[in-house]
Amino acid sequence: METRANHVWVGAVTLFLLAALAAFIMWIAGLSGVQKKEYDIFFKQSVDGLAKGSNVTFSGVPVGEISEIELWPKNPEYVRVRVRVGKDVPILLGTVATVQSSFTGSSKIQLDGARDGAPEITCENTSCLEGKPTIAAKPGGLGEILSNAPLLLERLATLTDRLTQLMSDDNQASIAGILKNTERLTDHVADASPQIEATLTELQATLRQANKSLAAFEGTMGTADGLLKKDGEALANQLRDTLKSAKLAAESLDETLKSAQPATRQLSENTLPAAEATLRDLREASQALRKITEKIDNQGAGALIKGNDLPDYKP
């Protein structure tokens, strides 16, 4: 009977100790929860490798872990990640969060960008969409590469295909022909280098001569400019006098033409038609006199008084 009572006491003490241990653990967990601060991060990108309990680092130093991760019900384009960090971690304005992925498949959240002297992120100076202050998200370099890996592979395959088409047998033959022509052209240029050198020498001599000619021309222009400055005024005065005389002569000629215009009109309207009629009469008289002269020469003077021959009469 006493042995059974001892077992009951032992069991009761054991249960009491287990309950006390559980209460102590819960108390420790509650204390540890009080020592943590929670923030929300909204990622508009793939968060492969992140899970509840994944590490959160600040400039590479572990400062907490992920407590919740889910698609945001208000906008499924975003993934809401709630992180829990130590209360002494300086989560200040300007802090950003990135997803650091690795080729092993695991990922973590990296915090950085805090500025010295900036206030701590709170619901007063930032948004609290789900009751917790929000840390701005920034796309991660490796995460972007891994999330865009299918697109990169597709573009790489397209590039490889185009390179294969470019390096086809026909194109290789064309490239070989171009290289041969280039080599031949280079050989011709090398063979013609003495002539090219001689031509360049002649060109240099021509340029020197041209420089001398230009210098002489500049000297001539300077001399001409001096002469113009020296005698230009006298020449200008002479030219002005000549132009004035020409103007006076033109005005005199104009007056002469105006005064001769009535006589010219009378000559064209009366004298010239009478002279033309007289010339016509003289031309006709000359023709008649020529006919008489020819007749005297051919038939004698009797032809002038001889009548016309009568036709023979036959009874």
171 domain-assigned: no
Domain boundary among 114, 130, 147: 147
- Residue 2 predicted with pLDDT over 60: no
Count how many domains the chain has.
2
Q: Mean of the per-residue pLDDT values for the chain?
A: 75
User: Does residue 103 sit in the same domain as residue 196?
Assistant: no
Q: How confident is the model at residue 202 (pLDDT cuts 50, 70, 90)?
A: confident
Q: Percentage of the chain with pLDDT > 70? A: 64
pLDDT in tens, 133-179: 999 998 765 555 655 667 777 888 888 887 777 777 777 777 878 88
Label the pairing between strands 61-71 and 79-86.
Answer: antiparallel
User: Does residue 142 sit in the same domain as residue 192?
Assistant: no
For residue 310, the model assigns a pLDDT of: 42
Average pLDDT for 61-81: 93
83 domain-assigned: yes
pLDDT in tens, 233-252: 666 677 677 777 777 767 77
13 domain-assigned: no
Domain boundary among 223, 254, 285: 254
User: Does residue 52 sit in the same domain as residue 140?
Assistant: yes
Please calculate the CA angle 17-20-24 and round it to the nearest 5 degrees.
140
Residues 6+ apart with CB under 8 A from 70: 79, 80
Cβ atoms of 109 and 45 closer than 8 Å? no
167 domain-assigned: no
- Distance, CA of 54 to CA of 67 (rounded, Å): 8
Range of the domain at 104: 34-147
User: Does residue 113 sit in the same domain as residue 201?
Assistant: no
22 domain-assigned: no
230 domain-assigned: yes
pLDDT in tens, 101-113: 776 667 899 998 8
303 domain-assigned: no
For residue 68, the model assigns a pLDDT of: 94
| Whether the model pTM is above 0.85 | no
Domain boundary among 235, 254, 273: 254
Q: Determine which of 83-87, 97-101, 171-175 has the lowest per-residue pLDDT on average.
A: 171-175
Residues 6+ apart with CB under 8 A from 84: 36, 37, 38, 56, 64, 65, 66, 67
75 domain-assigned: yes
